[in-house]
Amino acid sequence: MKKDLTKITDLTPNEIKQIIDKSFTYKKDASISGLPSSILKGKVVAMIFEKPSLRTKIAFEAATAKLGGIPIFLTSNQIIASGNNEKGRESIPDIAKNLERFADLIITRVYDHKTIEAIANNISKPVINALCNKYHPTQALTDLMAIMWHKKEWKNIKVSFIGDANNVSTSLMHICALMGINFSVASPKNYTIKTEEYEVALKNAQKASSTIELLESPEAAVKNADVIYTDTFISMGEEHLKEQKLKDFKNYKVTAALLKKANKDCIFMHCLPAHRGEEVTDEVMDCESSIVFDQAECKLHTAKALLSTYLT
């Protein structure tokens, strides 16, 4: 049966562990030899990107090439015909049915999760969600790898997300819940994680004997935290909301003072790009506790792991 990755909850805890184990294997192999593989020889990976990308784009392109595959990058104006996801020259199902005749796997980075569903539901080839308005599962896998890299005893740790309840925080919540990691998120009243997403996470957390907290206070959220994580307050496509959101999130900036309220060996994470001075200070971004660039590196290793999992 065809397997897609449209959201983290498409995976079981055991499948997540297998992907992360592969990621660390690829990290080790790269540090030893750095030599390319031929595991994806002859495989074509099509990448539909409506939204801009630095790390995700280069990670999947490099991963495909390093594993012997052929990456084909397709921008919105080439495929969907509009950066705003307006109606293009062809329907989404027709685009998908064409692509599956040429490609072995499709990676999608789009505005609307419904676009990913339409692609996945109309073809027999695997589809990986590389970001949409609701979820960012490849980022969550990257984040878990980074956490396990720096926290050898990670099962009972606490991860605290400070900021907007967006696609990143939602997927991070889901992977923590599935893997038995305690999770708290602090957001202003009108920016909390959606009830249906929280309820799914809560059920998985109860099975894994971990906790999920939705809070308003950043200080309460980071109490006993082993990881503090933030993301931009203004997601792509929300530029018109910038002035209002910066007002609403003025008390949610991650500062050195906030970091000190967590556990002594707490690490700081950010999926990048960072808007220094808005959601995080330079002092935190550049401090010894910051692992943001190790975290970015993990994108390459998890991209390799995902491609080898879904194509071999």
Q: Do 167 and 103 share a structural domain?
A: no
Q: Do 212 and 195 share a structural domain?
A: yes
Q: How far apart are CA 148 and CA 133, in angstroms?
A: 27
Query: Among the listed ranges 90-99, 176-185, 259-268, 270-279, which one has the minimum average pLDDT value?
Result: 90-99
Residues 111 and 119 sit within 8 Å (Cβ to Cβ)? no
Q: Do 164 and 16 share a structural domain?
A: no
Domain hosting 95: range is: 8-135+299-311
**For the whole model, what pTM was predicted?**
0.95
CATH of the domain at 44: 3.40.50.1370
pLDDT above 90 coverage of the chain, percent: 86
137 compared with 92, residue with greater pLDDT: 137
Q: Do 107 and 32 share a structural domain?
A: yes
Evaluate whether residue 3 is within a structural domain.
Answer: no
Evaluate whether residue 178 is within a structural domain.
Answer: yes
pLDDT score of 83: 42
The stretch 18-46 carries a mean pLDDT of 89
Q: Do 196 and 110 share a structural domain?
A: no
- Structure-block tokens of residue 107: 């990676």
pLDDT score of 130: 98
Evaluate whether residue 234 is within a structural domain.
Answer: yes
Q: Do 173 and 120 share a structural domain?
A: no
Evaluate whether residue 36 is within a structural domain.
Answer: yes
pLDDT exceeds 70 at position 34: no
78 compared with 74, residue with greater pLDDT: 74
Phi-psi region of 281 (alpha: psi -120 to 50; beta: other; left: phi over 0): beta
Q: How many CA atoms lie within 13 A of 160 on its CB side?
A: 27
Q: Do 117 and 27 share a structural domain?
A: yes
| Average pLDDT for the chain | 94
Q: Do 281 and 303 share a structural domain?
A: no
From first CA to last CA, the distance across the chain in angstroms is 14
The stretch 170-178 carries a mean pLDDT of 98
Q: How many CA atoms lie within 13 A of 217 on its CB side?
A: 5
Q: Do 196 and 117 share a structural domain?
A: no
pLDDT exceeds 90 at position 282: yes
Q: Which residues pair with 227 in a beta bridge?
A: 159, 267
Q: Do 276 and 207 share a structural domain?
A: yes
Evaluate whether residue 119 is within a structural domain.
Answer: yes
In the chain, the number of structural domains is 2
Q: Do 128 and 193 share a structural domain?
A: no
